[in-house]
Chains A and B, each alone.
Chain A
Amino acid sequence: MNGLFSQLVVLGSSAMLLTALIVLWRRGVPAYITAYRWQSWLLGAVTAIVGAFSGDRELYLVAGALVLLKGMAIPRLLRTMERRFGAQRELRPYVNTETSLLISGLLVVFAYALARPWMAVSRLPTRAGLPIAMALLFVSLFIIVSRKKAVTQIIGFLMLENAIALLAVVGTYGVPLLVEFGVFLDALMGFLVMQIFVYQIHETFDTIDVEQLARLKH
């Protein structure tokens, strides 16, 4: 039973990592939004699976909130933003596709090296998901620093949040509920404020290419 449980968790976590790689590989923002939506649904699924096997009822609530907020509401807001700006494509990121994929491979290896002491500490059946969550965190950070479009950076940030949520659920079966909802509220507010700024950038600069933002120097 535990074998099936840990395999399901690893499968879900790996699929989440794959959806992050789509952002490095595809060029259109709609594809990124789809990837993010899939990732959030997978996160909800992993949370629900952990809840089912550990018997922790609170996790169902968390999984439901994850799917509602990150799997449905935020992707919808992202689509609205996308439609408003027309077809935005990440044409020339700072790092090209081949190098990006190579670097993310190295990041995954690094995450496994970093996670070795944790694997020794933890006795949870879900511990195999820890290095994958860490890898997702590093890949999301890389998405943020290597892409130019504000929307892509936001998606990178949202994926970073998913990575931390995954880390919490596979490492500790979730942080306490009060904290979880504080984090949700912050995530939603933060996203809404970022969205406001994207509209403002679009209005004042006539582009959402962050490369254009270079007025402030010394």
Chain B
Amino acid sequence: MSALSPFVLLFAPWALAGAAALLVRRSPRWVGWSGVAAAALAVAASLQLAAGLLAGRPAAAAMGDTFGADALSAILCVCISLVSLLAAAFGPGLAGPETDAGATRRFRVGLSAFAPTMLLAVTTQNVAIMWVAIEATTIASALVIPLARTKASVEASWKYMLICSVGIALAFTGTVLAYFDFISTAGARQGALTFAVLQQAAPVLHRELMQLAFAFILVGYGTKAGLAPMHTWLPDAYSEAPPPIAAMMSGVLVAVAMYAIARWKAVVDVAATPAFTNALLLGAGLLSVAIGAFSLVVQRHYKRMLAYSSVEHMGLVSLGLALGPAGTFAALLHLVNHAFAKSMAFLAAGRVSRRYATTEIAGVSGLLGAMPWSGGLFAAAVLALIGLPPFGLFVSEFLLVRAAVVSGHFWIAAAVAVFILTTFVSLLRHLNAMLYGPVPEGVETGEPRSWGLVALAGCLAVLLALGLVLPWPVSALLDRSVAVLTP
């Protein structure tokens, strides 16, 4: 029971918040605050998990092989619960546009299902339970995309649900293939589906089969992560989802999918040589970075612009995972940075689109005049996303390019530099168009300071801290995660 306690604190509050959202029909404010409280408790639990790991008290596996956390799980737990806290605070009922009671309730129920499924995906040691959890994230998030039932949002959620379900089914095929290999060559054993046992048995596993399994797994979880060419659902879903959900999907859901890929890569690399997984990840990464960068040039909608930027960043993470320990460190740091920068950008964009009532870049001008605080924070988030110092993404992108050069992949370093430059120029151009110029007629100017702005400024502080000092708890946890992933 004692081993279970951090996990109880991680999941139980969400169950209570979900029950409250389902049962309490009146006072959406109280339901909203219960969601915030649940998220805050989950933040506390994941910080406790991380602190315990740093102090040398690893969270032991609980309930057989179902729960268990190492440094990598702890980092992702912290990111997921912090972003969920932001999403809970910015959701309808507390902030955001006035929606009808039904939509508000659907949002709260969806959020209370979405956050714990992601937490489960990163705290389970069992590859099949991880799959079940990631599939459940699709279901939970798809339900909340069409909050306002417009044609575009219904279309986006259908596309999301179908493409991601099929993709994730392929990931399960890969999981079954790996299990098949395990059963056939290493013999049936208890706990055959946990990472530790798989990794231990990996030297005797059949090379070709594990490679085939990884191909399925990469396509499957890559669909969820938005890696090209499986990214087609992503711009629609992100731009149509309510901003808090878009923040969770783009900030941490993609990170969860990349986490699954990284875990599997660690197993397959022992069974076969890393050359195969590296080649696949480099291919998918370069294609995603290229498609992301060029789609940004022609973007006319700022929410879709943020979505394509996710494709680009996940491409960078995929490249990093293929570049040895230094690259893996850069990739994981990039995931953390991206989680905060992207959620901040989507939440600020939500405020902008509410004021201007449009998502077109051409429809927004004079943002700094109309909304000095939100506009400024939005600009800061976009500047962080293009990798400008002193924000954290500059550090991780720099480390990534350095890892490519050091490991002898000069042409990859060169290509990445060119694509990063392309995104830099096009995002800056779009941002300029939005920030300056006259405020369109009918858009009111000025905004009061509110706690919402404080929350966004908190994200900014995290990004600055990660960029300027890289606090030792973070770097220590990242170092340990790299050790887990690249034995």
Q: Measuring CB to CB, which residues of chain A are less than 8 angstroms from any residue of chain B? A: 114, 117-118, 121-124, 137, 141, 144, 150, 153, 157, 160-161, 164, 167-168, 171-173, 175-176, 178-179, 182-183, 185-186, 189-190, 193-194, 196-197, 200-201, 203-205, 210, 213, 215-216, 218
Contact = CB atoms under 8 A, between A and B. Distances in A.
A204 B300 CA distance: 25
A200 B180 contact: no
A218 B300 contact: yes
Nearest to B301: A218
A153 B208 CA distance: 32
A160 B169 contact: yes
A205 B149 CA distance: 11
A185 B136 CA distance: 9
Contact of B161 (A137, A141, A179, A194): A194
A122 B180 contact: yes
A123 B161 CA distance: 38
Interface in B214-263: 235-236, 239-240
Given A137-B173, A176-B128, A179-B128, A144 B162 contact: yes
Q: Closest 5 CB pairs between A and B?
A: A182-B132, A171-B180, A179-B128, A213-B155, A216-B236
Given A150-B158, A186-B139, A157 B165 contact: yes
Interface in B118-155: 126, 128-129, 132, 135-136, 138-139, 142-143, 146, 149-152, 154-155
B212 interface: yes
A212 to B, nearest CB: 9
B184 interface: yes
A137 to B, nearest CB: 7
Contacts of B44: none
B199 interface: no
Nearest to B173: A164
B312 to A, nearest CB: 16
Given A117-B212, A141-B166, A201-B154, 9 more contacts: A118-B177, A171-B177, A189-B136, A189-B139, A193-B161, A194-B162, A203-B149, A204-B151, A218-B298
B156 interface: yes
Given A150-B158, A218-B300, A118 B142 contact: no
Given A175-B179, A182-B132, A201 B158 contact: yes
B180 A172 contact: yes
A193 B142 contact: yes
A124 B151 CA distance: 51
Interface in B294-339: 295, 298-301, 304
A140 B126 CA distance: 28
Interface size class of B (residues with CB under 8 A): 35 or more
B206 A117 contact: yes
Nearest to A185: B132
22 contacts: A114-B212, A117-B212, A118-B177, A123-B184, A137-B173, A157-B169, A168-B176, A168-B179, A175-B176, A185-B132, A186-B132, A189-B136, A190-B138, A193-B161, A197-B161, A201-B154, A213-B155, A215-B155, A216-B155, A216-B156, A216-B159, A218-B299
B149 A121 contact: no
Given A141-B166, A179-B132, A179-B193, A204 B172 contact: no
B84 interface: no
Interface in B68-109: none
Contacts of A167: 173, 176-177, 180
Contacts, number: 128
Which of A150, A185, A197 is most buried by chain B, counting CB atoms within 10 A of its CB? A197
Contacts of B156: 216
Contacts of A153: 162
B397 interface: no
B407 interface: no
Which of B146, B159, B177 is most buried by chain A, counting CB atoms within 10 A of its CB? B177
B161 to A, nearest CB: 6
B151 A215 contact: yes
A164 B154 contact: no
B358 interface: no
Which of A179, A201, A205, A213 is most buried by chain B, counting CB atoms within 10 A of its CB? A179
B22 interface: no
A49 B151 CA distance: 47
Contact of B150 (A157, A183, A204): A204
Interface in B189-206: 193, 206
Nearest to A186: B135
B415 interface: no
B162 A157 contact: yes
Contact of A118 (B143, B162, B172, B209): B209
Contacts of A121: 181, 184-185, 206, 209
A182 B128 contact: yes
B3 interface: no
B152 A216 contact: yes
A16 to B, nearest CB: 16
Which of A150, A168, A201, A210 is most buried by chain B, counting CB atoms within 10 A of its CB? A168
Contacts of A179: 126, 128-129, 132, 193
B157 interface: yes
A114 B174 CA distance: 13
B132 A183 contact: yes
Contact of A213 (B142, B158, B169, B177): B158
Contact of B146 (A164, A200, A210): A200
Contacts of B362: none
B183 interface: yes
Nearest to B191: A176
Interface in B44-58: none
Contacts of A172: 176, 179-180, 183
